[in-house]
Amino acid sequence: MAWPTLSADWLVSRRTPLELRRRLLPVGPGRLGIAQEFVAPTEHEARLATAHNWLASLVIRQAGAIGFRDGRGLRQIPGERFLLYLPPGSLVRMQLGAARVETIGISATQPQPGFPQVALAIPCQLEREQALDLQALSAILAGSRLPDRPHESDPQHRIDADLGLPLRVRRLRGALYDHALSPAAIGRVAREHGYAPAVLSRSFTDAYGLTPRDYLQKVRVHAAVVSLFGGLSIAHAALDSGWGDLSRFYRQFRLATGQTPGRYRAAFVHSQRRPPDPSNDRPRDPSNDRPQTVK
């Protein structure tokens, strides 16, 4: 498989049975390019949450099955390639069935005119290089709009975990997201919506497959990753993503990603110092370059 020039060493996750490697790509100011390879040796649900940024990524299924679960059930994604688009504040439940997957795409906080406000998985024939081209991504996302309802997207491509869930539960997630970077978010949302914290936690977990605390951690860690890849210092990234205690930030970040914040910060610094090396842009045999297996 041919890759564009990559800018830093692979970041290897040691958190879950999902084998994950992540790498930073040079795509220009204001945007982050991220390439990933991951393997789910068995059935695995990967819950993806965005913070204040959007993500558009080409997903290439090399083996196994990929689907998305929501309140209506599980829907398998046909074909080998699709564009995964997550607007700010998304939560999706990606189901991996003994899957090996490659992704490459862009994340940014700057809003893009015409981009949808819902999470989508759109079949496409993008090449890897096009996955870093904002115009190519915009063309696909614009094509997903319903002609008679320009602010909505074709429901057959929607993958929001919210779909099919009761309005009261969706409102709880929206409120948790709004307060995700604030202290005591769960207690605050419970009071505002008239729930006991235990009841809120139970309702949320039954609907989304993870606890409110785990959801908030995902949003905060994702915000921190974007901040570190964007060049912020570790202390500023921690504060911007809702942690007032730096030692707790280190613990939770490493628990979630398998790496320290310093390792992610170093990836950004490395990408700024090393000029592109054309020799990196060459085919690779995945069987000879497998991610590290964590037992």
Domains assigned to the chain = 11-162+284-288 (2.60.120.10), 167-271 (1.10.10.60)
What distances in angstroms separate CA 289 from CA 23, 203, 286, one per listed residue? 14, 42, 5
Residue type, 84: L
Q: What is the pLDDT of residues 162-204, one digit of tens each?
A: 999 999 999 999 999 999 988 889 999 999 999 999 999 999 9
**Is 80 exceeded by the pLDDT of residue 295?**
no
Identify the three-state secondary structure at position 290.
coil
Q: Please tell me the predicted confidence (pLDDT) of residue 170.
A: 96
177 vs 278: which has the higher pLDDT: 177
pLDDT at 44 over 60: yes
Question: What was the pLDDT predicted at 275?
Answer: 46
- Predicted local confidence at residue 287, as pLDDT: 47
Single pTM value for the model: 0.83
| Range of lowest pLDDT (20-34, 63-77, 136-150, 205-219) | 136-150
Q: pLDDT averaged over the chain?
A: 83
Structure tokens at 123: 């079949």
Q: Which carries the bigger pLDDT value, residue 65 or residue 271? A: 65
Going from the C-alpha of 80 to that of each of 58, 83, 84, 104, 227, the distances in angstroms are 10, 11, 13, 14, 31
At residue 130, φ and ψ (nearest 5 deg) are: -70, -20
